[in-house]
Amino acid sequence: MPETAFRFPCSDELGHGYYIAQGFQDSIHGDGAHLGLDINGLGGGNSDLGDTIYSIGDGIVANTYDTDYLSIYYKYKGKVVKALYYHCKDIFPKAGDFVSKGEAIATIGNSDGMYLAHLHFELMKDTSIDAGFYGFPEGKFYDPIDVLPFYNK
């Protein structure tokens, strides 16, 4: 699996037209943990429902769950990491598939109306973790905003 410079998962490489509605927080104290970014279209509400989600790099699909999430292995700084794309409406690849940077892998969903449409994106240093992690997350995740290119940071 080659290491590629990452792109933003929505819109163009720099994510124009999107904003970070909720940032990363890996402390379980205070307001609680949020182990990824909530990425929303600037139009707000469900304006981004069905928008395309692109693979941030060249990778291999680890897992897919119904139409809700998929996780993909990538190489970053010489190590394997795992990205999780959550609340998807449609998911295109299957576990074990190779995906290339910029390939359409899913569309933005709203978990059957549980949320307003958005992409919840996580990047795990510890690849043994999968969706719905509970416990002590400190040090097991990257803050994706430190890793992804974004026009507004």
Beta carbons of 126 and 140 less than 8 angstroms apart: yes
Our CB check for Zn ion shows the closer of 37 and 62 to be 37
Q: For the CB of residue 120, give the shortest distance to Zn ion in the complex, in Å.
A: 4
Q: For the CB of residue 119, give the shortest distance to Zn ion in the complex, in Å.
A: 9
Could you tell me the two tokens for 114?
Answer: 């549980």
Q: For the CB of residue 152, give the shortest distance to Zn ion in the complex, in Å.
A: 18
Our CB check for Zn ion shows the closer of 69 and 73 to be 69
Our CB check for Zn ion shows the closer of 51 and 58 to be 51
Our CB check for Zn ion shows the closer of 38 and 48 to be 38
Residue ranges binding Zn ion (CB under 5 A): 38, 120
Q: What is the C-alpha to C-alpha distance for residues 49 and 41, in angstroms, rounded to an integer?
A: 9
Measured at CB, which residue is nearest to Zn ion?
120
Q: What is the C-alpha to C-alpha distance for residues 57 and 25, in angstroms, rounded to an integer?
A: 24
Closest C-alpha among 149, 142, 112, 151 to residue 23: 142
HSE-up of residue 122 (Cα within 13 Å, Cβ side): 25
